[in-house]
Structure 1
């Protein structure tokens, strides 16, 4: 389904996915305010939390709860509202819905029913952290919250240790120290990283150092371990190309006389201990030279 909207009027029926502030109320856009005032219903992660936002901006639209434990019945109710020709807004407690927040299942069902889903962009802790961290931002990978248990968390970090993209994690105050220590163990203590704490709020802190240095910083003051955290980690350094030994190249050439390249490279790797990918690449070069 292709959808195109060129003005700010409320479309009915439609689901509006509206970003709300992550701290500073001044970050709520005028378009978001107009949308929340104009829709017929707002599905909020926590209606008590969102009621304060609504009161601040004099938004009188009815709120209903929609959170990670909401069952299909709540989604059914929202789809019924759309079926009646109403406009519904989806908001989370803070930031952009669906980014480590509930909403994915609802959006899937709404799109499957061929109703428009309209994003109203705004605050996001991910982009706020990336923009201020001073680490490469051309390629990054958002990994959300790491596993709560240490074993699962370490396994996750070890799997990402060679990833060359900048890595972005959310973390809670209860686990931030252990989590950064596990990062230092998996990525190396000298890997550069930035801790972004309480973004856009009164006690906003953005502190960069090596992972080893960040472990020490977290222990220096209890306040450093309070609040909501985004941790941005520099990607792994690009691996230097492996130089094949004379023995490896000779072995590869002999095997290539009788075997396909893929098989020759695999056998040469087993015989010489060199990387199969490096041998395969060298085999391609030899074939080009011969051609």
Structure 2
């Protein structure tokens, strides 16, 4: 028979830039819990002071997470209410806390997650890239070999892919996407989301690399990369009218020119139509 304790662990998202994005519920929790477990006490104190909140804080970061989780579990077992916060956004996502969460499940301690800011989801919503199916890969590996191996494994991933990246490696990572994925793969970089210098820009990987290189301020701050998924060539998407147009134009222009004109007339993907035409150039339909 399980024993249930009165303690509660609250997972509390905090703003990723604009302090006004914090919810009323989050502020109430931060005011009323017995203890706030923060990734960085100094950083969290800035938030608390802004909203005139005074409470007890303890540090829980990647270096002390294992030991501190054991300590916090004991506090929860005697009925304490504890709020878990990271430096910004929703805790656990690339931040400390997973060990504590697992222990809470193990000891039947109630967990209450609050909704709130998350850079990955915020950026995805504004990317203009298909977002009904996506996967989150976190920060790309710092070492080139590991990064390239990961990107190669994702080359045929059909879902939209979300990465985090830093200003120090963004150019290298975009270059690796060009080499390992596809120079024409569409990507969007959302930088400094919710902050004063927020920017969202989309282009093919090649054009994105050139755009970033032109101005170092275009890759300063925190960045989310949203990458379009692999598109399987589907010949059924081309209507009879599209193929008839292509066939007629082939009597007057090169294959490349015919595809370019046809794609504009019928608003279809030039790359997909060209691949289809190459595959079927010996057939009567092209």
- Superposed, 1:48-127 pairs within 5 Å as 48-127=42-121
User: Deviations 1:202-261 (Å, cap 9, x if unpaired)?
Assistant: 1001000111011001101010121001000000011448xxxxxxxxxxxxxxxxxxxx
> What SS class does the counterpart of residue 15 from structure 2 fall into?
coil
Deviations 1:138-159 (A, max 9, x none): 1001000111011110110000
Aligned-partner Cα distance in 2 for 1:149–1:83:
42
Tell me what 2:129 maps to: 135
Cα distance in 1, alignment partners of residues 233 and 97 from structure 2: 39
Q: Deviations over 1:119-175 (max 9, x none)?
A: 011000011011000000010010001110111101100000000100000001100
Q: Deviations along 1:63-91, whole A, 9 cap, x unmatched?
A: 10001111433112111111121100000
Counterpart of 1:226 (choices 217, 220, 224) is: 220
- TM-score with structure 1 setting the length: 0.78
- Gaps of at least 5 residues in structure 1 are 1-10, 242-291
- Tell me the equivalent position of 1:16: 10
Alignment deviations for residues 25-46 of structure 1 (CA, whole Å, 9 cap, x no partner): 0110000000111110000000
Q: How does 1:149-228 map to 2 (within 5 A)?
A: 149-228=143-222
> How far apart are 1:111 and its partner, in Å?
1.3
1: CA distance, partners of 2:164 / 2:65 = 26
CA–CA distance in structure 2, aligned partners of residues 69 and 161 of structure 1: 34
Instruction: Give the structure-2-normalised TM-score.
Output: 0.79
Distance 2:100 2:108 in 1: 13
Question: RMSD of the alignment, in Å?
Answer: 1.2
Kindly state the Cα deviation for residue 12 of structure 1 after the two structures are TM-superposed. 4.2
State the alpha-carbon separation in 1 of the partners of residues 218 and 113 from structure 2. 34
Runs of 4+ aligned structure 1 residues displaced above 3 Å come to: none
Q: Distance in 2 between matches of 1:71 and 1:22?
A: 22
Q: Give the unaligned 5+ runs of structure 2.
A: 236-286
Could you tell me how far apart the structure 2 residues matched to 1:18 and 1:186 are? 37
SS in 2 for 1:170: strand
Return the alpha-carbon distance in structure 2 between the equivalents of residues 54 and 32 of structure 1: 11
In structure 1, C-alpha distance between the alignment counterparts of 2:98 and 2:220, rounded to whole Å = 29
CA distance in 2, matches of 1:237, 1:180: 19
Secondary structure in structure 2 of the residue aligned to 1:144: strand
2-structure distance, mates of 1:184, 1:62? 48
Count of equivalent residues: 231
Provide the C-alpha distance between the structure 2 equivalents of 1:237 and 1:77, rounded to a whole number of angstroms: 49
